[in-house]
Amino acid sequence: MDICNLNSLSKWSQKECLTGVRHTDMKQDVIGFLALAAISVVAGLGLNQFRAKPLPLVYQTPAERLGFFRHWRGSASEELS
């Protein structure tokens, strides 16, 4: 068992001694977590892109997916004329 002499340690070293977690370990954990999250997002977007029917990234109501509003309001070229 490692016994710390808290009187002779700096403030950060005291925290490391009491918690058993070093500051550099925590920084590496956060960096690893962010890297894994970024890899997951890139992999998910890549898999979605190469599907036969990619899922839209922005939610569309069933009516929007069926083109109801485009039919109901007319096409964009008709609105500009």
Question: pLDDT by residue (tens digit) across 25-65?
Answer: 788 889 999 999 999 999 999 999 898 888 888 888 888 87
CA distance 60 to 52: 18
Range of the domain at 34: 7-80
The answer, yes or no, to whether residue 70 has pLDDT greater than 70, is no
Maximum CA pair distance of the chain? 82
DSSP code of 20? S
Q: What pLDDT is recorded for position 77?
A: 52
Residue 12 resides in a domain = yes
Is the CB of residue 75 less than 8 Å from the CB of residue 69?
A: no
Residue 2 resides in a domain = no
Residue 22 resides in a domain = yes
Residue 59 resides in a domain = yes
Task: Give ∠ CA 30-31-36 in degrees, rounded to 5.
Answer: 100
Residue 47 resides in a domain = yes
Per the structure, the count of domains in the chain is 1
The answer, yes or no, to whether residue 67 has pLDDT greater than 80, is no
Residue 1 resides in a domain = no
Task: Give ∠ CA 10-12-17 in degrees, rounded to 5.
Answer: 90
